[in-house]
A = this chain, B = another copy of it.
């Protein structure tokens, strides 16, 4: 057994059984090791697809995937979606190929400071020193990636450590099945009692949920707190994954735009945070605040990031005596498909009508979907995934990973045309793996969000030359041709009813498709 084989075997032993790969010459032994039938290898034509897919996989599965990247530049191509994954607390194990130790001193062309590139966006970076220690090293990477708040672990694998035989292996001490059992701790009782007093005060209070606390038992508990105390419950504008829809407790959403968020939050005397921090503006603007709460609002941290949100909410429900309170559940909204012109409201209505039960909705719709996603809350129960890091081009890769994590569920990926172009190579992997993904491209032929941001920044109305940097209508991207080029069937729609019909049709056939929504 050589180092590469030891690495792949250890990955699968530790429960990491998928690898999003874009290999090069220095990873040929790794490629050979991928013959291991316990590892599923998924080829991507660009590394940003690999890392975004690993993010999407983690969001739905809760366990890390691995990526295979080709030296420093391969890692660099994956960094933007590593950034997004890191901000979503998604764990992943990146294996970065490298020249063998003896070759590095000659500074060959593909040499770069891989540790230097990895560190700003990784929680853990290590270079394998010998084929004997590969198993130990990669087990440490998996352990790190699998911590309660998922971590980015980057392991650098030199060619010689990959191809040399393992003589005296240093085997990992962590028994495989315990790796994922990292247990988060509950918040202290004093903190919970303090917050129970806040809720009992009757003063207007908002509980802000994030991390693991936007789904399952956590939102049920939040619903009880709301029903028992009259507090309101919300998420930040962006969440890693929310369970929502009919029959579930609905969480409000703090608005994105600074003005609207400030107005929304000024209703509250208290903000209670669960696995998150107090709301802040996404960007800074001249003459707009960074902190969104009113000066008179107090912030109370119920559950720190990394602590156990469910445990904290259970304690709080107990402390306010709401154990037997029934949460109000979301009603199924009228599912009549809309007709007529396409606009944010009719798009949301069409979505709400078309989304099948237990689908996954990846949202990178920016302008089109930003203010109207609330209208889809009465859809059939589904999971909603947002971009946590703000680097666009996350949607179609994340959808790719989510579909591999949950092959029995359809994924709807809503993405603006500008965003989609960053990592459009995702379509090819979706076609290759026959993934059940409905890609919805909102084609407004513009980085439309920037028009609003231009004004928000106090720059006024964009002039002709600035507009030319915002509109992407010359040439207009032909989305049907784009989809065809990578083997994905596609359709264009320009009415609400056609949009609804295309989405409804998309679930009838396996594999990916693309809907161009002409705006």
Contacts and interface: CB of A to CB of B under 8 A. Distances in A.
A340 interface: no
Nearest to A284: B103
B466 A43 contact: no
B109 A291 contact: no
A454 B108 contact: no
Contacts of A334: none
A463 interface: yes
Given A25-B283, A113-B120, A478 B484 contact: yes
Contacts of A281: 103, 106, 108
Interface in A60-105: 71-74, 76-77, 79-80, 83-84, 87, 99-100, 102-103
Nearest to A278: B106
Contacts of A31: 450, 454, 459, 462, 466, 469-470
Nearest to A458: B163
A178 B100 CA distance: 44
Nearest to A79: B76
A112 B121 contact: yes
A475 B483 CA distance: 12
Contacts of A41: 465, 468-469
Contacts of A470: 23, 31
A35 interface: yes
Contacts of A282: 25, 108-110
A485 B482 contact: yes
Contacts of A393: 46, 77
Interface string A187-214: 0000000000000000000000000000
B485 A106 contact: no
Interface stretch (A217-225, A420-428, A502-510): A420-428
A481 interface: yes
Contacts of A43: 468-469, 472
Given A76-B79, A389-B109, A478 B485 contact: yes
Nearest to A464: B35
Interface string A272-312: 00000000111111100011000000000000000000000
Interface string A31-54: 110110100010101101000000
A432 B28 contact: no
Contact of A482 (B77, B83, B391, B482): B482
Given A238-B109, A422-B77, A466-B34, A159 B284 contact: yes
Interface in A445-477: 447, 449-450, 453-454, 456-460, 462-466, 468-470, 472, 474-477
Interface residues of A, number: 100
Contact of A487 (B25, B110, B475): B475
A120 B109 contact: no
Contacts of A169: none
A261 to B, nearest CB: 13
Nearest to A32: B459
Given A21-B469, A120-B113, A29 B76 contact: no
Nearest to A106: B280
6 contacts: A35-B466, A45-B421, A72-B121, A73-B80, A116-B116, A163-B458
8 closest Cβ pairs, A-B complex: A475-B487, A103-B284, A73-B391, A76-B79, A116-B120, A482-B485, A73-B80, A481-B485
Given A35-B465, A163-B286, A424-B425, 8 more contacts: A37-B465, A48-B77, A73-B389, A76-B79, A79-B79, A112-B121, A160-B286, A478-B487
Interface of A: 21, 23-26, 28-29, 31-32, 34-35, 37, 41, 43, 45-46, 48, 71-74, 76-77, 79-80, 83-84, 87, 99-100, 102-103, 106, 108-110, 112-113, 116-117, 119-121, 159-160, 163, 238, 280-286, 290-291, 388-391, 393, 418, 421-422, 424-425, 428, 431-432, 447, 449-450, 453-454, 456-460, 462-466, 468-470, 472, 474-479, 481-482, 484-487
